[in-house]
A and B are shown apart, each in its own frame.
Chain A
Amino acid sequence: SQELEQSPQSLIVQEGKNLTINCTSSKTLYGLYWYKQKYGEGLIFLMMLQKGGEEKSHEKITAKLDEKKQQSSLHITASQPSHAGIYLCGADGAPGGTSYGKLTFGQGTILTVHP
Chain B
Amino acid sequence: KAGVTQTPRYLIKTRGQQVTLSCSPISGHRSVSWYQQTPGQGLQFLFEYFSETQRNKGNFPGRFSGRQFSNSRSEMNVSTLELGDSALYLCASSPGRTGGSVSNEKLFFGSGTQLSVL
Contact = CB atoms under 8 A, between A and B. Distances in A.
Contacts of B6: 42
Contacts of A31: 104
Interface string A41-70: 111110010100000000000000000000
Contacts of A90: 43
Interface stretch (A15-23, A73-81, A98-106): A98-106
B48 A97 contact: no
A90 B42 CA distance: 12
B103 A101 contact: no
Interface residues of B, number: 30
Given A92-B104, A108-B42, A102 B56 contact: yes
Interface in B38-97: 42-43, 45, 48, 50, 55-56, 58, 88, 90, 92, 94
B112 A40 contact: yes
B106 interface: yes
B7 interface: no
B111 A42 contact: yes
B55 A97 contact: no
Contacts of B31: 100-101
Given A42-B111, A42-B112, A107 B48 contact: no
Given A45-B106, A105-B43, A98 B101 contact: yes
Given A40-B112, A42-B109, A88 B48 contact: no
Given A41-B111, A42-B90, A42-B112, A100 B104 contact: no
Contacts of A106: 42
Nearest to B91: A42
A45 B94 CA distance: 12
A101 B33 contact: yes
Contact of B102 (A33, A35, A40, A97): A97
B21 interface: no
Given A45-B106, A98-B101, A100-B55, A40 B114 contact: yes
Interface of A: 30-31, 33, 35, 40-45, 48, 50, 88, 90, 92, 96-108
7 contacts: A42-B90, A42-B110, A100-B50, A101-B45, A101-B48, A104-B45, A106-B42
